[in-house]
Amino acid sequence: MKIVGIAACTAGIAHTYIAKEKLSKAAESRGHEIHIETQGLAGTQDALTQQDIDAADIVIIAADIKVNGRERFKDKKIVEVPTSLVVKSPTKLIEKVEQV
């Protein structure tokens, strides 16, 4: 499965990057390709390309704030969760995404 997404927390620092790392490790350990964009005080990093989005089977938005660029995911399955859930249970989230 190809997964893309956005991680963003209120400060745009700690939970953003922890969520990205945990999501990436959990997805890769289960054999999935994943690309997570981060948004926050440092701006947008690792921005998703339209090609990444078009190839994706599902989008995960792990955010505690409003994210920019949601319109890019039109017609895609989207799973939205708070960053705290990703930090606590990344593998369970990926298992749930596999069933969507």
**Cβ atoms of 70 and 63 closer than 8 Å:** no
Report the number of distinct structural domains present in the chain: 1
| CA gap 71, 19 in Å, rounded | 22
| CA gap 75, 88 in Å, rounded | 29
Can you give the pLDDT of all 100 residues of the chain as single tens digits? 999 999 998 876 788 999 999 999 999 999 999 999 999 888 899 999 999 999 999 999 999 999 999 999 999 999 999 999 999 999 999 999 999 8
**Cβ atoms of 39 and 68 closer than 8 Å:** yes
Local structure of 45: helix, strand or coil: strand
Domain region containing 46: 2-98
Q: What is the CATH number of the domain that holds 79?
A: 3.40.50.2300
Catalytic annotation, residues: 9
pTM for the predicted model, two decimal places: 0.94
**Cβ atoms of 87 and 18 closer than 8 Å:** yes
